[in-house]
Amino acid sequence: MTNTENVKKPAKTPRVDMPCQPAAVRAHNFKEVALGYSLEQAQLEASRCLQCKNPRCRQGCPVEVRIPEFIAQVVKGDIAEAYRILKSTNSLPAVCGRVCPQENQCEGKCILGVKGEPVAIGRLERFVADNAMHDPCVGVSDNDACAVTNPDLKVACIGSGPSSITVAGYLAARGIKVTVFEALHEAGGVLIYGIPAFRLPKDVVAAELDGLRQNNVEFRTNWVGGRTVSVQQLFDEGYKAVFIGVGAGLPQFLGIPGENLIGVFSANEYLTRVNLGRAYDFPNFDTPTYPGKHVTVFGAGNVAMDAARTALRLGAESSTIIYRRSRAEMPARHEEIEHAEEEGVKLFELVGPLHFNASESGVLKSVTLQRMALGEPDASGRRRPMPIEGEVFEHETDLAVVAVGTRSNPILLEATPGLELNKRGYIVVNEETGETSIPNVFAGGDIVTGAATVILAMGAGRKAAQEIAKRLLG
Instruction: Tell me the residue type at 385.
Output: P
CA nearest to 261, candidates 238, 292, 304, 301: 292
Is residue 395 one of the residues assigned to a domain? yes
* Strand pairing report for 250-251 and 406-407: antiparallel
Domain total for the chain?
A: 3
Spatial distance between the Cα atoms of 276 and 183, rounded to a whole number of angstroms: 13
Is residue 207 one of the residues assigned to a domain? yes
CA nearest to 61, candidates 15, 108, 94: 108
Give the model's confidence band at 152: pLDDT under 50 very low, under 70 low, under 90 confident, else very high: confident
Averaged over 392-412, what is the pLDDT? Answer: 96
Instruction: Tell me the residue type at 444.
Output: G
Residues 275 and 393 in one domain: yes
- pLDDT computed for residue 146 by the predictor: 54
Spatial distance between the Cα atoms of 218 and 200, rounded to a whole number of angstroms: 23
- Give the residue, 141 or 157, on which the prediction is more confident: 157
Q: Which distant-in-sequence residues (6+ apart) come within 8 Å of 3 by Cβ? A: 77
Residues 323 and 369 in one domain: yes
- Provide the CB-side half-sphere exposure for 387 (13 A, CA): 10
Residues 244 and 255 in one domain: no
Cβ atoms 438, 419 nearer than 8 A = yes
Q: Which distant-in-sequence residues (6+ apart) come within 8 Å of 25 by Cβ? A: none
Where does residue 24 rank: exposed (0-12), middle (13-18), buried (19+ CB within 10 A)? exposed
Tell me the percentage of the chain whose pLDDT exceeds 90: 84
Residues 395 and 255 in one domain: yes
List % helix, strand, coil for the chain (3-state, nearest 5): 35, 20, 45
- What SS3 state is found at 148? coil
- 282-291, 404-413, 420-429, 431-440: segment of lowest average pLDDT: 282-291
With both helix axes pointing from N to C terminus, report the angle between 67-76 and 79-87 in degrees, rounded to the nearest 10: 170
Asked if the model's pLDDT at residue 134 lies above 60, the reply is: no
The partner residues of 356 in beta bridges, in order of sequence, read 367
With both helix axes pointing from N to C terminus, report the angle between 121-132 and 67-76 in degrees, rounded to the nearest 10: 60
Give the model's confidence band at 96: pLDDT under 50 very low, under 70 low, under 90 confident, else very high: very high
Is residue 14 one of the residues assigned to a domain? no
- pLDDT computed for residue 8 by the predictor: 45
Is residue 437 one of the residues assigned to a domain? yes
Is residue 66 one of the residues assigned to a domain? yes
Residues 222 and 359 in one domain: no
Asked if the model's pLDDT at residue 425 lies above 60, the reply is: yes
Where does residue 390 rank: exposed (0-12), middle (13-18), buried (19+ CB within 10 A)? exposed
Which H helix or E strand runs over 156? Answer: strand 150-158
Residues 377 and 417 in one domain: no
Residues 386 and 432 in one domain: no
Residues 164 and 219 in one domain: yes
- What SS3 state is found at 231? helix
What φ, ψ does residue 464 adopt, rounded to 5°? -65, -40
CA nearest to 184, candidates 207, 212, 164: 164
58-74 CB burial, b ≥16 within 10 A, e <16: bebbbbebbbbbbbbbb
Please say which residue of 352, 370, 405 terminates a domain: 405
- Dmax of the chain from CA atoms? 71
Is residue 16 one of the residues assigned to a domain? no
Is residue 286 one of the residues assigned to a domain? yes
What φ, ψ does residue 314 adopt, rounded to 5°? -90, 5
Residues 195 and 304 in one domain: no
Residues 356 and 390 in one domain: yes
Cβ atoms 355, 257 nearer than 8 A = yes
Which H helix or E strand runs over 462? Answer: helix 454-473
Q: Which distant-in-sequence residues (6+ apart) come within 8 Å of 424 by Cβ? A: 407, 408, 450
CATH number of the domain residue 464 falls in: 3.50.50.60
Give the structural domain span for 92: 29-131
Asked if the model's pLDDT at residue 296 lies above 50, the reply is: yes
Residues 91 and 178 in one domain: no
Residues 295 and 396 in one domain: yes
CATH number of the domain residue 119 falls in: 1.10.1060.10
Is residue 384 one of the residues assigned to a domain? yes
Asked if the model's pLDDT at residue 344 lies above 70, the reply is: yes
- pLDDT computed for residue 378 by the predictor: 83
Q: What is the pLDDT of residues 209-240, one digit of tens each?
A: 998 998 899 999 999 999 999 999 999 999 99
Give the model's confidence band at 145: pLDDT under 50 very low, under 70 low, under 90 confident, else very high: very low
Cβ atoms 255, 248 nearer than 8 A = no
Asked if the model's pLDDT at residue 265 lies above 50, the reply is: yes
Please say which residue of 405, 435, 465 terminates a domain: 405
Kindly report the average pLDDT of the chain as a whole number.
Answer: 92
Spatial distance between the Cα atoms of 59 and 298, rounded to a whole number of angstroms: 34
